[in-house]
Amino acid sequence: MHKNTSSVRNLDRRHLLKGALGSAVALAVLRADAVEQAKGSGRIKQSVCQWCYGKITKTAEDREKFYAAVAALGIKGVDLTGPNDWPAMKKHGLACSMVGSHGIGKGFNRKENHAECIKAVKNGIDQAAEHGWQNVICFSGNRAGLGDEEGAKNCIEGLKQVMGYAEEKKVTVCMELLNSKRNHKDYQCDHTAWGVAVCKGVGSPRMKLLYDIYHMQIMEGDVIATIKENIQYIGHIHTGGVPGRNEIDETQELDYPAIMRVIAELKFDGFVGQEFIPKRDPLTSLAQAVKLCDV
């Protein structure tokens, strides 16, 4: 009798994972297999932000189990992890999809911060280049009374001092867009137009934005049109349910499959990072999000 080799492969994988990682992960893998069988397009290259899963990634052993689980879901990278975790990630075929640098509040918008921020970003670039990663994060910093025009000018001046190095190392620097209404009070890079102006001023193909859908829905909405109009300046994307930054399913106000179809149609080749804080079983929620975004 002929056997479906895909089904056999999936059953073997389920058995192995269930024994090694427990029932929650097994359920997540079952959901992942449903994704493969129903669509499996892979047009969206997905990653996940580890910080959202702090309850199940407290130890190195926990994190390796997490990496095995997310790799089984078809996820390709984990955002904002440190070098100590990279060997375990590589073991499971995962990239560090966004390398860290300096902090959020103290950024490139003030000249007195430039030396510190440049050093941190260059260190991130070195780490990324050494391991074959493609992105390093950076931040504008908070306004603290600084006007938006002056803040943008200062960011451009500081980031220009990094771009030659980023180009040489073939690493992209991504400034994250964050909301200043609910989560990051006074943060300056809080609208897409401001971030795009900085990218244009820097004038390098290695200067992009981290477009966070959650944050920009809060600040300006109009997500699909904004992505379409500015895709050339977007190097990385984050998800998150509005309101609350929880699951990206029917409990919130955005239609994520519709947004992902547009991103896929634009042939965006960067990572789309799942950055929501699960209220339910974390791996079950993550599997659901992966399925929603696999368009």
Parse the chain into domains and list their residue ranges. Answer: 41-293
Q: Report the C-alpha gap between 272 and 45 in whole angstroms.
A: 6
| Helices and strands, counts by H and E, the chain | 11, 8
Name the E strands within the chain: 45-49, 77-79, 95-98, 135-138, 172-176, 207-212, 234-238, 271-274
| Dihedral, 48, 51, 55, 61 alpha carbons, nearest 10 | 70
Local confidence pLDDT in tens for the 295 residues of the chain: 333 333 323 433 444 344 345 444 544 454 445 444 434 578 999 999 999 999 999 999 999 999 999 999 999 999 999 999 999 999 999 999 999 999 999 999 999 999 999 999 999 999 999 999 999 999 999 999 999 999 999 999 999 999 999 999 999 999 999 999 999 999 999 999 999 999 999 999 999 999 999 999 999 999 999 999 999 999 999 999 999 999 999 999 999 999 999 999 999 999 999 999 999 999 999 999 999 999 9
Quick one: fold of 41-293? TIM Barrel (3.20.20)
- Of the candidates 140, 123, 148, the one whose C-alpha atom is nearest the C-alpha of residue 207 is 140
Q: Please report, in angstroms and rounded to a whole number, the separation of the first and last CA atoms in the chain.
A: 34
The helix (H) or strand (E) run that includes residue 35 is helix 23-38
Whole-prediction pTM: 0.88
The angle subtended at Cα 130 by Cα 168 and Cα 72, nearest 5°, is 120
Q: How many CB atoms lie within 10 A of CB 14?
A: 18
The separation between CA 228 and the C-alpha centre of its own chain, rounded to angstroms, equals: 18
